[in-house]
Structure formats: structure tokens, C-alpha cells
Amino acid sequence: MSAIALKAATIRADAPYDPPNRVQLAKIQRLMQEAASHLQGGRLGPAARLAGHARAAAPRSFEVLWISGVIALKQEKFDEAAGWLGRAHALCPSHGGCALRLGFTLARLGRHADAEAALRTAVALLPDDAEAWDTLGYVLRVRGSLEESICAHRRSAELLPARALSWHNLGNALLFAGRPAEALMAQERAAQADPASVPAQHGRAIALQACHRIPEAIKAYGEALNLNEGHHPSRSQRLMALNYMDGIGRGELFAEHAAFGAAVRQNPRRSFPNAPDAGRRLRVAFLSPDLRTHSVAYFLEPLLTHLERSQFEIYLYHDHFVEDAVSERLRLRADTWRNFVGQQDSAVEEAIRGDGPDILVDLAGHTGMNRLPLLSRRLAPVQVGYLGYPNTSGIEAMDYRFVDPITDPQGDADPLHTESLVRFAPTAWAYAPPSVAPSPAPPPSHAGAPITFGSFNNFAKVTDATLLAWSKLLGAVHGSRLRIKCTGLDEATVVAQVRERLVRADIEPGRVDLVGRDPGLEEHLAQYRDIDVALDTFPYNGTTTTCEALWMGVPVVSMSGDRHAARVGASLLTAIGRTEWIARSWEHYVAIAAGLARDREGRQAAGRSLRDAMARSPLLDHRGQAGRFGLALRECWAVWCQRAAVAA
């Protein structure tokens, strides 16, 4: 390797040290040459043994420590590699290659602050090294410095345009920064640079999904799987995208999830040291990339706030580079907080098993940055899926899924899950209205402006059938308008694609306002004052958007279907006593929405009463919901205790 063809010099520290003599130096050099030869040939075991002999003879030789670190890195012994490379870097801080490898190794260990320092040294020493800039960009992204990350990845791609990984990582950073159209362009450059690159094809699929181009995204996930059928992230993200689609039967969707479970199946742990005592205080862990300003956190926080702490010890496992004010509030609710972002599954598994939770609650399912393949190893005696994903995980090691009787009716939904369903409450959610929410106000139509229908849902949920229903609704209510608001609608490419779909659905573009994201939650919620009736999506209903609209005094029309994702709206509306806004067909949906538009007095009365209705509902009965949630956890634990007693 040219990288280890360094001068044969022994760099010594100031402490007393007997340097090797001429004969010893010659022996060390022979050892290093042989080690390098084995390393080049992929014979890592012999290379490591020879490097060990060299270290015994010259423990302060930069060359010896450097090649020792490179070998350990190749062996994926990251702790060991960090030790040797760190010592080498201290001896020779001007060696760019060592700084780069040290930074990469520290990043693999999740030591991102230390990695950033090493990598900033590397790019200063190697300003034209594409790999150094790309690795720095990754670490900056994990640390939340998105604009710097984008600049670093872009520099890497400019230096080496044929390097697919640089374009792929640039696309990832752009996507995290909320620039999906630019992200798609970068991922397409990655795929052009290397059509056989699975990360490039996977990244392209994610970007297509973020641009709300779901059928194309599903096809792209398939292309990634054609390259590598064992690429579980593509298989998982494809399942997420399938939930958005019209025309996929729930049996077919269940089969797809079960196939994922079979593909990631491992030998799960069967025995645990946890004491099978049904009455003791339980260690309950929650795993999620969304313990931050995110819908999942909004619904989790009320439960954590009111769970009986004498009964439950709480572990929160965050898995995202963003830690914000919401994260800090959640951290205060936890006995233990960990952030696993950027860490390998093996390190995460070691940490969780070390904590020894009795119950592990996964809040991600098949949403992005999930750890489902790891959960298939069974990290706790009881594993539960809840909140973040509207379908089964497909994983046999997931024991339960917490739902409600409306989203998942008894007998109807059970055969479509690999988990046992626990209908723990009248509605499965506990909603915490944001403290910054402004007061409801009459929309402009009350002063004579046209009726405005609105959807603030992720546009990926807006199917062609949904657009057709909206077209008929606009036709039924003379002069009415439609406001669509979501992430991505401040990018010209995405706007053009959305407008093209509107035209195909026979919706006049001039009657539609497309609005991108707002700088803050208060501004976002204030925009509900501009609509008269909120329109839910189908077959993937909204959750947070429905609660937000209702809290802002806006009626919501939702169509109920044959699966969890299509029954969330029905659950929320039933909880607040507004079942008359639940449709059973598209014709019924249009009729309900048109009726609300025409009934100004009824609409006003409904708007004035919605906050009180929510306050009286299970949605805002946080103490009661937390009690029901805690009782369900205990019942699941009791089942495990009974089984453990029988097995003993």
C-alpha cells in the first residue's frame, strides 16, 4: 500500500526511552514490510501478528502504530484501531492520511466530536482529497451542521465527480436539510457515476419519495433490491412507501411485511436474566429517531409525563443527530437517555443489553432510520411496536403492537399482524396541543371570501383517487379554493410536478394555493385560520395534521377504510364525538365536505366547540391514557413472567 510506504523513522516522546539500535531497526523494517505484504494480500491475521511483534520492539514508532491502526481498521476492530491511530497522530500530527483514518474510525465508534476534530485536520492537510471531505461531511451531518455538511460533500463531488459515494452523501445531506429536489439530482448523479451502487439507488428512491413521487420511488427501491436483495433498508423503506398506494390489498401488504421479517430473521435470544416478577418496578425503554420536534414526540411526551414512576424506570434511546428543546424535555422525563446516532448495530445492541430493559418499545417501525433488523435479535424479554408506523413490523421477535379498537377491530385486523394486538385505549393517541398554538379565528370566508378547503398532510399521501375526490368537491362548491401545504412545496421542481398532477385530476391550478414549510410551529398552526374544512388523505390518513386542524377549530373530513392507516381519522374523530365527519366512500366524503362548506352556522359552531371537545376526550386525558398504557405494559410483562415460570 502506498499509504504505508513511509520513511523508516522512529518518533520518540520526551519520556525516557531506549531507541532501537541499527540491527533492531532492520528487523522492525522487515516485520513492517512483511506485514504490509500480508495487508495488501488481505491476510489480516498474519499482518496483525507481525505488527504486534513490531510494536513490542518499537512501541513509539509512527510507522508501526500507523500500520497497526490500518490493519485493525480493516479487521473492523474500531476500538483497537482508534488506539493505535490516535497514538500515531499524536506523534505525527502533520500526517494527513493518519488524521483521515483516525477521523473515520472515531466516527464508526460514534465519537463524532473527536472525529470532526481529526477530519478538519485531515482536510487542512489534504485539501484535494475527496474522501477526506466526504468523511468530514458525514460527521458534520451527524452533528447537525447541515450547511457545512452540504459544502463538504459538494467539495468532495467536485474534486472527484466519478465518485458515486460523494454524490450519494451530498444527496443525503440535502434531504436532511429539507431540499428534496436537489437531493434527487445528487442521487441521480450518484447512480450515473455507478449504476451498480446500491446506496445510490436506495438514496434515489428515498429522494423520489421525499418529492412525493411514490410509484417511482417504489420502482427505485426495487432496483436497489435487484442489485442486492439483502439490502434491508431498501426493503423496509419500500414497505413504508407501499402504505401510501391505492390499489394494494391489505393481504398483499401483510405478505410484503412478513417477507421482510423472514429476510431479517436471526436467532433471537430466548433467555434473559430479568427477574420474572410481575409486580416489581419495570425498566421500559423507548427506541426512536424522533425524540425531537416530531409528531412521535408530541404523542409520546404526555404518556411519559404521567407514567407512574414508582412503577416504571424509563430509558429513552434517541437515534438522530438533532437534539432540540423537545429532546431536552423528554430527557428530563427519563432515568437514562442515550443517543445512538451513527453507531453500528453491534454497539447499540451491546448498550441496550447492558441496560437490561424488561420491555423495549419501538416507535419507528418501517419509517426512516429504524433498527428493525437489530430488533429481530430480541433485545428485551418483551418487545412492543407503537405509535410511529401504521402497520405490522413483520418481525416475529416483536411481541405486541399497541392500537385501539377502531384502527384495528377485534378479529378483523389480528390475522394481518405478526404481533399480538393490544387495544389498550379508546383511541391510541395522547395529544399535547403546542403551547404556541394561537387561538382559533374565523376564516376569511366568514367575511365573504371564497370557501377554502385545505390539506396540510405530507403530499406523498395524496393519491390520484384523493385528487379526483378533491376535484369533484371543488366542482360541487362553486368558487371554492384548495390550499395544499407540506414540505417540498417551496422547491420549483416539486411544485411543477404537483401542479402537473392537479391538471391530470382536472383541478384548475388557479384555484389551488401550494404552500411550503413555515419557519416555526406557531406560524404553521396560524395557517389553519385560512381554511374552512380540512381534508384528510386516503388510504394513509393524517394523525398530527388532523389533531392540529381540530385544535385550531377546523372540521376534518376523513374516509375510513379497511386497515390501520385508513382508520386513524375515524379513531380521532370518534374520540371527540364527531363521527358525522367520517366517510364510508368517496361520494360520502365529497358530500360531507360540501355540506360543511355550505353550512356556515354549523361550521362556526363546530369551530367554537372543538377545543372543548378535545379537552373532554381521551386524546387530552393524559393521565388516563398514561394509566391505560402502563396497565397494558404490565399485562404484557405478566404474560412473559408466566411463560418464564413454565419454562423454569
User: How does pLDDT run across 467-502, given as a tens digit for each residue?
Assistant: 999 999 999 999 999 999 998 898 999 999 999 999
List Cα–Cα distances, 83 to 77, 87, 93, 105, 259, in angstroms: 10, 6, 15, 10, 42
* Cβ-defined contacts of 13-16 (< 8 Å, 24+): 13/60, 13/91
The pLDDT confidence band at residue 8, using thresholds 50, 70 and 90, is very low
Cα separation of the two ends of the chain = 56
Which cell is 436 given? 404556541
Q: Is the per-residue pLDDT at 9 higher than 50? A: no
| pLDDT attached to residue 24 | 55
* Cβ-defined contacts of 602-606 (< 8 Å, 24+): 603/532, 603/533, 603/555, 604/442, 604/446, 606/553, 606/555, 606/578
Which cell is 386 given? 407503537
Q: Measured on CA atoms in the order 3, 9, 13, 17, is the torsion positive or negative?
A: positive
How far, in Å, CA of 92 to CA of 527, rounded?
58
Q: What are the tens digits of pLDDT across the range 113-131?
A: 999 999 999 999 999 999 9
Identify the DSSP state of 579.
G
Q: What are the tens digits of pLDDT across the range 499-536?
A: 999 999 999 999 999 999 877 899 999 999 999 999 99
How far, in Å, CA of 91 to CA of 114, rounded?
17
Q: What are the tens digits of pLDDT across the range 397-426?
A: 999 999 999 999 999 999 999 999 999 999
Task: Round the average pLDDT of the chain to a whole number and report it.
Answer: 92
Q: What are the tens digits of pLDDT across the range 328-385?
A: 999 999 999 999 988 889 999 999 999 999 999 999 999 999 999 999 999 999 999 9
- The helices-and-strands tally (H runs, E runs) of the chain is 26, 13
Q: What is the CA radius of gyration of the chain?
A: 28
Q: Are 581 and 592 in contact (CB under 8 A)?
A: yes
Q: Is the per-residue pLDDT at 22 higher than 90? A: no
Q: Report, as an integer, the average pLDDT of 274-303.
A: 96
Q: What are the tens digits of pLDDT across the range 152-171?
A: 999 999 999 999 999 999 99
Specify the pTM: 0.89
Q: Report, as an integer, the average pLDDT of 206-226.
A: 96
How far, in Å, CA of 156 to CA of 141, rounded?
14
Structural domains in the chain plus CATH codes: 161-242 (1.25.40.10), 282-423 (3.40.50.11380), 444-620 (3.40.50.2000)
Q: Report, as an integer, the average pLDDT of 457-471.
A: 97
